[in-house]
């Protein structure tokens, strides 16, 4: 049991170190995936399009760097900005979404990439604290499992 806990502890430790070391690559990869999701948005209704909509609605943002990123997409040439960019759904008509000058007042202008990464970085201390707490419990479990093993081994010889 102690060896199993040690293995899990090492896996978590390696994952944390790799995540910290490669955090810039993770950001770059996320930005590329977000750009790709915008480019392929709603060509086929899929979970990537739903994820973009959810991010834009939740964080009140539009596009990757800013709202003008949508102007380079195929979706924009057909339908304009997506509804998830609208500040208020009641005040956002399809005609407004097709015209970039009108849409600027009706859609969120901030990009999602900066908001997502800043949100993740602001929550990183909470994640680190929880991870440290779990690691402490695992270390206590490893020590107690080793003590129990030693106690069982010592008592086996006394029972005879």
Domains of the chain: 1-158 (1.10.1450.10)
How confident is the model over 97-142, as pLDDT tens digits? 888 888 888 899 898 999 888 888 888 778 778 888 888 888 999 9
% of the chain with per-residue pLDDT over 70: 94
**In the numeric block, which tokens belong to residue 52?**
């973009």
- Return the percent helix, strand and coil in the chain, to nearest 5: 80, 0, 20
Identify the weakest region by mean pLDDT among 38-47, 60-69, 112-121.
38-47
**87, 107 in Cβ contact below 8 A?**
yes
**5, 141 in Cβ contact below 8 A?**
yes
Q: Tell me what pLDDT residue 143 has.
A: 93
d(CA 49, CA 79): 14
């Amino acid at each position: 049991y102690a060896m199993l806990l040690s293995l899990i502890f090492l896996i978590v430790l390696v994952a944390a170190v790799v995540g910290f070391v490669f955090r810039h690559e993770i950001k770059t990869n996320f930005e590329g995936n977000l750009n790709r999701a915008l480019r392929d948005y709603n060509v086929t209704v899929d979970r990537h399009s739903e994820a973009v909509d959810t991010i834009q609605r939740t964080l009140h943002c539009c596009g990757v760097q800013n709202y003008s990123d949508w102007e380079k997409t195929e979706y924009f040439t057909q339908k304009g900005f997506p509804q998830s960019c609208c500040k208020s759904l009641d005040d956002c008509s399809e005609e407004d979404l097709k015209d970039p000058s009108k849409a600027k007042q009706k859609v969120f202008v901030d990009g999602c990439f900066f908001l997502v990464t800043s949100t993740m970085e602001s929550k990183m201390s909470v994640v680190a604290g929880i991870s440290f707490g779990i690691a402490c419990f695992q270390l206590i479990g490893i020590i107690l499992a080793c003590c129990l093993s030693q106690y069982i081994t010592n008592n086996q010889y006394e029972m005879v």
